[in-house]
Amino acid sequence: MRSIFPRVQRFLLLGWLLLWAGCYTNPVTGRQYAVMTSVGEELQLGVQAFTAVKQAETISRDPSANARIQKIGRRIAAAVGDQLPGAQWEFVVFESDELNAFALPGGKVGVYSGLMKLLSSDDELAAVMGHEIGHVVARHGGKRMTEATLIGLVGTAGAIAMDNKYGSEKRDLFLLAYGGISTVGYVLPHSRGDESEADLMGLQYAAQAGYNPYAAISLWEKMGAASGRSNVPAWLSTHPSNARRIADLRAAVPRFTALYQANRGRY
DSSP 59: B
What sections of 63-167 are H helices per DSSP?
63-80, 113-118, 122-137, 140-166
CA 7 distance to own-chain centroid: 34
Q: Decide if 58 contacts 40 (C-beta within 8 A).
A: no
**Closest C-alpha to 124, from 203, 24, 56:** 203
Active site residue 132: yes
- Nearest Cα neighbor of 133 from 193, 184, 203, 63 is 203
How many Å apart are CA 65 and CA 117, to the nearest integer?
Answer: 10
Q: Out of 42, 124, 132, 147, which one is annotated catalytic? A: 132
Decide if 111 contacts 101 (C-beta within 8 A).
yes
- Residues 184-201: b if buried by 16+ CB within 10 A, e if exposed: eeebbebbbebbbbbbbb
E strands in the chain: 23-25, 32-34, 90-94, 101-104, 108-112
Active site residues: 132
